[in-house]
């Protein structure tokens, strides 16, 4: 399927797309082939200021539109994304390097997300209670202009996570996509522009240290939402603290995935654990990158896991049968290779993969073989986020030691458990320091389930009704039937 793209893209500000200028642009490049896809304008502080001003001016009318009308527009956007999903998925496959079969599912998830919030906003009700002589009403009101910054690894889902709850709650938005993956979000902007009033959603493009910093620091932005690395998340949190505005942060992870010896189907667990580690080329904050397998089944499990990793098809992002494709850029590819070498230097045993794969027609790309390392939990490869198709395999035999090691990381985004024993499942889930714990199916994120992390994996929850609370603030109104008797009457 041939993808027609504009030669030049720019920010969407107040309903107008501004094309890239040659002196202020950067290239969108296919990471697999090195093909130049388009030029994108690099926004500066003045551009961000105009976008925030547009959002601020659009705010009163958007808020006054009401929940039902806003929900209908969000539902229309979901329909439009569903209609154009194949084209948008192809754009992401070219722009980010992910397998087309995966990215299609991202857009299905995004559509469900918009529809979920279009529905759940109707249940986001104000509350009232009787007080002496009257009533107290607690109203949920939008915060105002929301500054949102998303990463490159899953643009469709990340945009939906940010836009849907903010918009249905009555806020206006300035969203910055990552400079490594801007094209599908800008094309999404075309759909948004045909549905929403001008200024309600604005898109700014460019470098994080310029456009992202200007957006975070803008005095008219009343809410920050960031998904990305823990290091940058700390910066965003610091800016939010200085400005006294709320922030939602979804950051890094080094998730533990635990296999008990009582599992019923060894092959099924091996397959799911493989998926947990290498889905999205391993470029996922929630990836199950530390796999703890009980000693009683370790050897049999290891043999099957090695075979599973070795049969994964590495191919072009456009290959319908590929399950691993190229990393987002050469810098990320080299980083992953360096971590693999570091692990081996630390004493990890290489069981599968470990090198760069060659894919015909995609020689430019960094394709990393699905890599399996027998490791110790104290190694850096088990403590630091690699963001590539690399899995650390760890043996366990003592339950208390297992729990201690599973929690022995700065992160706490997600965890997995495989067992046929309900007590093992629930007791372990309650003791794991993770925002999501998936039992017998990794990455089981369904509509309305809260997603977010403990510890250095972030603050706040997305994809659930509670998210609406993060995009609103409470106003208390008390109503009395009559003015009370004077308390300051003269004696």
In sequence order, the 6+-apart residues with CB closer than 8 A to the CB of 476 are 136, 137, 138, 139
Does 102 qualify as catalytic in the annotation? no
Give the integer Cα–Cα distance in Å for 117 and 122. 9
Closest CA to 389 of 407, 416, 369, 412: 369
Question: Measured between alpha carbons, how far is residue 481 from residues 83, 355, 417, 475, 477 in Å?
Answer: 53, 76, 57, 20, 13
Please answer whether residues 223 and 246 qualify as being in contact, where contact means their C-beta atoms are separated by less than 8 angstroms. yes
Beta strands in 295-374 (DSSP E): 349-352, 356-357, 367-368, 371-374
Q: What is the DSSP string of 167-212?
A: HHTT-EEEEE--TTS-HHHHHHHHHHHTTSPTTSEEE--S-IIIII
Cβ(215)–Cβ(221) under 8 Å?
yes
For residues 169 and 140, what is the distance between their CA atoms, to the nearest angstrom? 9
Residue 258 bridge partners (DSSP): 292, 417
Tokens of 133: 């002589």
Which of the residues 179, 187, 250, 433 is marked catalytic?
A: 250
CA-closest candidate to residue 183, choices 84, 78, 96: 96
What is the distance, to the nearest Å, from the Cα of residue 481 to the centroid of all Cα atoms in its chain? 49
Task: Quote the CA–CA distance of 46 and 181 in Å, as a whole number.
Answer: 22
Residue 129, number of CB atoms within 10 A of its CB: 8
Q: What is the DSSP string of 256-295?
A: EEEE-TT-S-HHHHHHHHHHHHHGGGG--TT---EEEEEG
Distance CA 122, CA 67 (A): 7
Residue among 189, 45, 30 at smallest CA distance from 94: 30
Taking each helix axis from N to C terminus, what angle separates 155-168 and 183-193, rounded to the nearest 10 degrees? Answer: 30
Active site residues: 250
């Amino acid at each position: 399927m041939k993808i027609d793209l504009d030669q030049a893209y720019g920010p969407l500000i107040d309903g107008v797309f501004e094309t890239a200028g040659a002196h202020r642009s950067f290239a969108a490049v296919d990471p697999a082939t090195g093909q130049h896809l388009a030029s994108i304008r690099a926004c500066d502080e003045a551009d961000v200021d105009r976008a925030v001003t547009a959002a601020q001016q659009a705010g009163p009318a958007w808020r006054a539109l009401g929940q039902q009308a806003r929900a209908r527009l969000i539902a229309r956007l979901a329909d439009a994304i569903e209609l154009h999903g194949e084209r948008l998925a192809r754009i992401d496959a070219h722009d980010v390097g992910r397998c087309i079969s995966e990215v299609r599912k991202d857009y299905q998830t995004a559509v469900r997300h918009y529809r979920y919030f279009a529905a759940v906003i109707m249940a986001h009700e104000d509350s009232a209670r009787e007080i002496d002589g009257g009533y107290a009403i607690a109203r949920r009101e939008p915060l105002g202009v929301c500054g949102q910054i998303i990463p490159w690894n899953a643009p469709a889902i990340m945009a939906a996570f940010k836009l849907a709850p903010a918009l249905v709650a009555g806020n206006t938005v300035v969203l910055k996509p990552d400079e490594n993956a801007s094209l599908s979000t800008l094309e999404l902007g075309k759909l948004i522009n045909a549905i929403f009033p001008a200024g309600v959603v604005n898109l700014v493009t460019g470098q994080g240290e310029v456009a992202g910093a200007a957006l975070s620091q803008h005095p008219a932005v009343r809410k920050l939402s960031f998904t990305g690395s823990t290091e940058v998340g700390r910066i965003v949190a610091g800016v939010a603290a200085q400005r006294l505005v709320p922030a939602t942060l979804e950051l890094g992870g080094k998730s533990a995935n635990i296999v008990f010896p009582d599992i019923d189907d060894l092959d099924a667990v091996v397959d799911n654990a493989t998926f947990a580690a290498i889905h999205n080329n391993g470029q996922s904050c929630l990836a199950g990158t530390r796999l703890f397998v009980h000693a009683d089944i370790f050897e049999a499990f290891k043999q099957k896991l090695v075979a599973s990793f070795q049969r994964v098809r590495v191919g072009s992002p456009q290959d319908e049968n590929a399950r691993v494709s190229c990393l987002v850029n050469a810098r990320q590819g080299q980083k992953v290779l360096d971590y693999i070498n570091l692990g081996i230097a630390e004493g990890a045993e290489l069981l599968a993969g470990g090198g760069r794969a060659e894919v015909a027609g995609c020689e430019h790309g960094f394709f990393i073989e699905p890599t399996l390392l027998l490791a110790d939990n104290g190694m850096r490869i088990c403590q630091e986020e690699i963001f590539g198709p690399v899995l650390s395999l760890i043996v366990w035999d003592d339950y208390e030691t297992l729990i201690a090691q599973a929690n022995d990381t700065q992160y706490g985004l997600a965890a997995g458990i495989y067992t046929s024993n309900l007590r093992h499942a629930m007791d372990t889930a309650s003791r794991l320091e993770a925002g999501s714990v998936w039992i017998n199916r990794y990455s089981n994120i369904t509509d309305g389930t809260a997603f977010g992390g403990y510890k250095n994996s972030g603050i706040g929850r997305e994809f659930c009704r509670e998210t609406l609370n993060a995009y609103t603030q409470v106003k208390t109104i008390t109503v009395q039937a009559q003015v009370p008797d004077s308390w300051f009457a003269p004696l």
